[in-house]
């Protein structure tokens, strides 16, 4: 076979192989071993590494949370409010860390998730206890100051009664969670003693409020409105109807202000947070439609204020509801997938403005939020290959149970081969070719020089030069440069080079070489001859 043909065939085969490998190079299957696991074990070298996720800190964090409840309740009981603020801030920070960890580790469906729910409620309860205790403390001082002023005194008593009722209700709910929390703590071998002590401290604070209120009502001032041993009856009354509701339901919170005037503002508080301000009607009643939204499931308290008058405390219960979440995947392009779905309660109501997490390949979490219709959307960039995605609703702060969608799978093709490397390679090849070609032509120039020895016919026009007044050696140099330029020789050429390239002028160049390098000084006659030759009057060349 002809050698050139065989080389061409080899080159073609090599290119074919490279093309085949190149096509496969973008396919991750190429790099995946087929036999990487059996029922008994998996090949660790082929299993994707992941961040440990701080799993080891989960149980210690639960321990810290329970410990913090004990510290916080104690400082509240001791009325060390500055320390209590610090403890509460730390407790909140620990709770946030714990919440994040529960979601990251995907354990919200376990008893740790139950612990998390209880902890959230404990967090709210202890924050309320701190505020209520501080206010109660102030009321106790105020009550002494306003003795003798019946109107002011009654105001203090009404507020004190409202606080007392609120603290009792909050404590009841706090104590109800004790059994479940202790059970979970024991399962994880966590010391629940500080938490149990916090329940005792809470009880003491609530009992102290009871005691003070009983003391006041017992006739200490003689201005109470309920008689001995009873509770005061505020002229501002509140009630919640119905007393139970779930997400999306509307509860009517209203009542009557016997001492109020039509149009007077009434502020309605739910769990110590202002829920609405309404005006008294002509019949001195007020009402507010309270929609159950982002509020924890369980017992809650409502009370109202009209100026300095506090109402009694009304309790209502928010019942948990199941939810369902859907997930649909659509490939946007080779590297992105659009995730859409709906989050609804079990009665079909959309869950609005709620956070949704999309778990990618069991690890990465991407956040989204539902709109006013309970619909969410997230575009996620993913590497090429198969991916498993699942939407999760963790119901943090909602009276709803967590839910998750079925796992959906998407296969992304990935981006095609980028044209930039190819364009760069072609440009580099073209540039290299251009450079080599130019270099070759430059290298070939000296070889062509002897052939290109200028003849008088093709010599360039005679330049205008004057050597008058110049020293002889400098004048010779000027004449050499003039002749060299006239013959079109590069400035880099020495007199010897010039003599070789243009042998017809060898006499001139050799004479100049002696002047230049041997230090000879040309005579006037020699300069005249050289000038004649340099300027083209060279019929008799030296």
Partner 1 sequence: MTQIEREAWAILLILLLAAAVAYAHVTTTTEEYSRYNTDWNGTSALPAEEIRDLRNLDTAATLLILAPDRPFTAEEVGYLQTFLDAGGRVIVADEEGTANSLLADLGSTMRVRPQNLASLERDRADPGLFTVSVVGNTSLFAGVGTVRVNRPAAVTGGEPLLETAILTWEDGDGDGRISGDEVFGTAVICAAEGNLTVLGDESLFINAMLAENPQFIENIQPIRVDSIHSRTGTANPIINTRLWIQETPPAAAAAAALAILPVAWHFGRKRDD
Rule CB under 8 A: which residues touch partner 1?
35-45, 47-53, 55-56, 58-59, 105-107, 109-112, 187-189, 361-363
Closer of 257 and 359 to partner 1 (Cβ) = 359
Shortest reach from residue 411's CB to partner 1, in Å? 18
Cα distance between residue 63 and residue 190, in whole Å: 6
Shortest reach from residue 380's CB to partner 1, in Å? 18
Classify residue 168 as exposed, middle or buried by CB count within 10 Å of its CB (0-12, 13-18, 19+). Answer: middle
Closer of 36 and 252 to partner 1 (Cβ) = 36
Shortest reach from residue 177's CB to partner 1, in Å? 20
Closer of 187 and 261 to partner 1 (Cβ) = 187
Of 450, 530, 532, nearest in space to 489 by CA: 450
Closer of 100 and 187 to partner 1 (Cβ) = 187
Closer of 153 and 390 to partner 1 (Cβ) = 390
Closer of 190 and 479 to partner 1 (Cβ) = 190
Closer of 20 and 388 to partner 1 (Cβ) = 388
**Cα 238 vs. chain centroid, distance in angstroms?**
45
In the three-class reduction of DSSP (H, G, I as helix; E, B as strand; rest coil), residue 506 is classed as: helix
Contacts of residue 129, defined as CB under 8 A and 6 or more positions apart, other chains included, come to 73, 76, 167, 170, 171, 202, 205
Cα distance between residue 242 and residue 27, in whole Å: 61
Cα distance between residue 394 and residue 343, in whole Å: 11
**Residue-wise DSSP of 415-475:** ----HHHHHHHHHHHHHHHHHHHHHHHHHHHHHHTTTTPPPTTTPPPPPP---TTS-HHHH
Shortest reach from residue 37's CB to partner 1, in Å? 8
- What six digits make up the tokens of 136? 């109660």
Find out whether 317 and 298 touch, Cβ atoms under 8 Å.
yes
Find out whether 335 and 341 touch, Cβ atoms under 8 Å.
no
Ramachandran category for residue 353: left, alpha or beta (phi over 0 → left; psi -120 to 50 → alpha): left
Rounded (10°) angle between helices 111-145 and 58-77: 10
Report angle CA 80, 81, 83 to the nearest 5 degrees: 75
Element (DSSP H or E) covering residue 132: helix 111-145
Shortest reach from residue 57's CB to partner 1, in Å? 11
- Spell out where 148-259 has E strands: 236-241, 244-246, 250-257
Closer of 105 and 182 to partner 1 (Cβ) = 105
Closer of 60 and 230 to partner 1 (Cβ) = 60
Q: Which residues of 213-242 are buried (b: 16+ CB within 10 A; e: fewer)?
A: beebbeeebebbeeeeeebbebbbbbbbee
Shortest reach from residue 119's CB to partner 1, in Å? 17
Contacts of residue 430, defined as CB under 8 A and 6 or more positions apart, other chains included, come to none
- What six digits make up the tokens of 26? 């973008």
- What six digits make up the tokens of 316? 């209502």
Shortest reach from residue 409's CB to partner 1, in Å? 14
Shortest reach from residue 381's CB to partner 1, in Å? 20
Closer of 39 and 468 to partner 1 (Cβ) = 39
Shortest reach from residue 114's CB to partner 1, in Å? 12
Of 234, 233, 209, 231, nearest in space to 218 by CA: 231
Q: Which residues of 13-41 are buried (b: 16+ CB within 10 A; e: fewer)?
A: eeeeeeeeeeeeeeeeeeeeeeeeeeeee
Shortest reach from residue 180's CB to partner 1, in Å? 15
Shortest reach from residue 35's CB to partner 1, in Å? 8
Shortest reach from residue 106's CB to partner 1, in Å? 6
Closer of 108 and 217 to partner 1 (Cβ) = 108
Find out whether 456 and 488 touch, Cβ atoms under 8 Å.
no
Closer of 52 and 348 to partner 1 (Cβ) = 52
Shortest reach from residue 33's CB to partner 1, in Å? 8
Closer of 52 and 416 to partner 1 (Cβ) = 52
């Amino acid at each position: 076979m002809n050698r050139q043909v065989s080389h061409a065939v080899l080159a073609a085969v090599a290119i074919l192989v490279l093309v085949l490998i190149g096509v496969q190079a973008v396919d991750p299957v190429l790099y995946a071993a087929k036999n990487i696991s059996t029922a008994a074990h998996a090949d660790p070298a082929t299993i994707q590494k992941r961040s440990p996720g701080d799993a080891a800190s989960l149980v210690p964090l639960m321990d810290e949370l329970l410990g913090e409840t004990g510290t916080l309740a104690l400082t509240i009981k001791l009325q060390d409010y500055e320390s209590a603020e610090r403890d509460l801030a730390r407790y909140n920070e620990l709770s946030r860390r714990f919440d994040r960890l529960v979601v990251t580790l995907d354990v919200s469906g376990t008893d740790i998730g139950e612990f998390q729910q209880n902890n959230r409620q404990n967090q709210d309860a202890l924050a309320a206890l701190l505020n209520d205790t501080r206010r109660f403390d102030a009321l106790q001082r105020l009550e002494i100051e306003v003795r003798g002023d019946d109107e002011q005194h009654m105001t203090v008593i009404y507020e004190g009664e409202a606080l007392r009722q609120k603290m009792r209700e909050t404590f009841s709910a706090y104590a109800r969670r004790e059994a479940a929390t202790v059970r979970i703590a024991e399962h994880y071998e966590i010391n629940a003693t500080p938490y149990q002590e916090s329940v005792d401290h809470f009880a003491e604070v609530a009992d102290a409020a009871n005691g003070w209120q009983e003391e006041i009502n017992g006739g200490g001032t003689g201005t109470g409105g309920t008689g001995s041993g009873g509770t005061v009856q505020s002229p501002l009354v509140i009630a919640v109807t119905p007393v139970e509701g779930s997400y999306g339901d509307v509860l009517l919170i209203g009542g009557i202000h016997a001492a109020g005037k039509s149009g007077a503002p009434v502020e309605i508080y739910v769990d110590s947070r202002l829920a609405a301000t309404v005006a008294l009607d002509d019949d001195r009643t007020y009402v507010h439609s309270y929609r159950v939204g982002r509020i924890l499931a369980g017992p809650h308290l409502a009370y109202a204020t009209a100026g300095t008058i506090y109402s009694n405390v009304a309790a209502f219960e928010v019942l948990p509801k199941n939810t369902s979440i859907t997930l649909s995947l659509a490939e946007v392009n080779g590297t992105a997938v659009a995730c859409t779905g709906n989050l609804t309660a079990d009665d079909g109501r959309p869950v609005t403005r709620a956070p949704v997490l999309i778990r990618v390949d069991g690890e990465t979490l991407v956040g989204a939020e539902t709109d006013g219709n309970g619909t969410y959307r997230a575009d996620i960039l993913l590497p090429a290959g198969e991916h498993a995605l699942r939407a999760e609703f963790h119901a943090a702060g909602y009276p709803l149970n967590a839910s998750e969608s079925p796992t959906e799978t998407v296969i992304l093709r990935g981006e095609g081969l980028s044209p930039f490397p190819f364009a760069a390679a072609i440009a580099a090849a073209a540039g290299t070719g251009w450079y080599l070609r130019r270099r070759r032509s430059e290298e070939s120039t000296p070889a062509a020089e002897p052939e290109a020895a200028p003849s008088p016919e093709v010599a360039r026009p005679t330049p205008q030069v004057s050597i008058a007044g110049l020293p002889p050696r400098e004048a010779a140099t000027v004449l050499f440069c003039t002749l060299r330029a006239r013959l079109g020789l590069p400035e880099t050429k020495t007199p010897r080079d010039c003599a070789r390239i243009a042998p017809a002028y060898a006499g001139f160049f050799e004479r100049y070489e002696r002047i230049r390098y041997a230090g000879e000084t040309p005579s006037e006659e020699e300069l005249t001859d050289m000038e004649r030759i340099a300027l083209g009057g060279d019929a008799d060349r030296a």
